[in-house]
Amino acid sequence: MDARETALRQAYGHAVRWLASLSDRGVPARASVEEIVRALSAELPDGPSAPVDVVDLLATACEPGLTAFPSGRFYGFVVGGTEPAALAADWLVSAWDQNCVMRAASPAYAAVEEVAGAWLLNFLGLPGNSAVGFTTGATMANFTCLAAGRDAVLRRTGWNVARDGLTGGPGVRVLAGEDRHMAVDLALRYLGLGRPELVRADGQGRIDPEALRHALAAGGPAPTIVVLQAGDIHSGAFDPFAAAIRAAREADAWVHIDGAFGLWAAASPAYAHLTAGCADADSWATDAHKTLNVPYDCGLAVVRDPLAVRAAMGLRGDYLIQDEQGDPIDKVPELSRRGRAFTVWAALRALGRSGVADLVERLCRHASAFATGIAEIDGATVLNEVVFTQVCAEFGSDERTERVLTRLLDDGTAWISGSTWRGRRVMRISVSNWSTTDDDVARTLDAIRRASAGA
């Protein structure tokens, strides 16, 4: 065996032990940053080390400081886990080390991106000839789509952003619901568009289409983008797309939908109604590393008009070997990047149509079980309408909710983050891991009951 193979075998052993530990290990990390720095022995050695020893040191020093994100009992943020075929494919991605910029450079990558992209459009019920770009995550997917939108609405006024930039051009209005995700604001900031104008949302975070119509009319004609949301980070709620998109069309606005985790509802016959009307937008951002459960990092930027995203993101270079029909590079902000479509293809191929639907429905079923179980706890109230994968609950007062959260993390059975929603501290549960079982939910509910009993 050469040094590379020995190192890979060692990494395989560590990876398999880590995965095997997930069902029973505590979910929070056991060691602090400082402890891991010490364990890594921060001195850079003067000379080379054997790759196998480096892998060993990394794995053993880091193990206590790893949070069990891929555990079936991790419910913080919205993270997803790692579906087995996608995880294994991701190892191949590293070994293959393809630079996924051009069709001519890696025909295998371009082919897989094409096939996975077509499947995705089909699963998500989006227009079949849209461009699908593979980004680092939903933040950059939002950025990509909004860049295409910004350039397109300005182009309609005769202004060419690619050539002339933004300075001196017409102002672009961007309207979004009060409860949009902050990643949208970040993407707008990167794009030089500043903060969005906020439109009233209802108690669950759904944009009010009438308020949107009024806000659009009040501003007068201007190049305009409307940002809608599929899946509110607290309530899981979906905007009323048909009515909101009708209002946006009356103002000739570009309509973008941030559906980082929620767009996947479209893949399930039982939940597709939540995304009704979605397909009439101009662009959609979602993550494969959330609901689809591929490893980090993988977002998806879908743009109805492939030429619009190409105008915003495409480039030409004398030393590149470019294809007239467009290359992977024409749909994303970066040049060199890893082969993200390989893992998406593997997850979709492994799950099949029914598997993706089952996955979505299982996540939702677990969220409902959490809501039912928590509602039975003395003093606890579930605050949101549980329509998808998100549950927000409080335990009588902000102080008690905070104590329950702290005790739950100390217990270690599960990882659930707190948040502030509608002015109250809440326990915020997001079910996004393919491997979560009924038993994980039952064990977590037991832990929540234990945490609230003494709080």
Q: Is 83 in the site for ligand PLP (CB under 6 A)?
A: no
Among 103, 181, 256, 340, binds ligand PLP (CB under 6 A): 181
55 versus 147: smaller Cβ distance to ligand PLP: 147
Q: Is 80 in the site for ligand PLP (CB under 6 A)?
A: no
Contact in structure between 68 and 25 (CB atoms under 8 Å): yes
Q: Is 261 in the site for ligand PLP (CB under 6 A)?
A: yes
The CB density around residue 162, as the number of other CB atoms within 10 Å, is 12
39-47, 134-142, 146-154, 416-424 -> range binding ligand PLP (CB under 6 A)? 134-142
Pairing mode, strands 197-199 and 173-177: parallel
Among 193, 253, 260, 369, binds ligand PLP (CB under 6 A): 260
Amino acid at site 319: Y
Contact in structure between 39 and 61 (CB atoms under 8 Å): yes
CB of 299 to ligand PLP, least distance (A): 5
Q: Where are the alpha helices (DSSP H) in 165-233?
A: 182-190, 209-218
Contact in structure between 254 and 271 (CB atoms under 8 Å): no
Among 101, 131, 138, 382, binds ligand PLP (CB under 6 A): 138
Secondary structure element (H or E) that encloses residue 411, with its range: helix 398-411
Residues of this chain, 294-353, that bind ligand PLP according to CB under 6 A: 299
Cis peptide before 232 (omega within 30 of 0): no
13-21, 68-76, 253-261, 412-420 -> range binding ligand PLP (CB under 6 A)? 253-261
Residues of this chain, 213-232, that bind ligand PLP according to CB under 6 A: 231
Amino acid at site 387: V
112 versus 183: smaller Cβ distance to ligand PLP: 183
Q: Is 177 in the site for ligand PLP (CB under 6 A)?
A: no
Euclidean distance between CA atoms 102 and 201, whole angstroms: 42
Half-sphere CA count of 295, side-chain side, radius 13 A: 17
39-47, 162-170, 246-254, 257-265 -> range binding ligand PLP (CB under 6 A)? 257-265
Report the largest interatomic distance among the alpha carbons of the chain, rounded to a whole angstrom.
71
181 versus 338: smaller Cβ distance to ligand PLP: 181
Q: Is the torsion defined by CA of 257, 261, 265, 268 positive or negative?
A: positive
Contact in structure between 64 and 31 (CB atoms under 8 Å): yes
Q: Is 205 in the site for ligand PLP (CB under 6 A)?
A: no
CB of 146 to ligand PLP, least distance (A): 12
* Of 300, 270, 248, residue with least CA distance to 120: 300
106 versus 139: smaller Cβ distance to ligand PLP: 139
CB of 398 to ligand PLP, least distance (A): 23
* Of 32, 101, 17, 102, residue with least CA distance to 66: 32
Q: Is 139 in the site for ligand PLP (CB under 6 A)?
A: yes
CB of 21 to ligand PLP, least distance (A): 26
Give the residues lining the site for ligand PLP (CB under 6 A): 77-78, 137-139, 181, 183, 231, 233, 258, 260-261, 287, 299
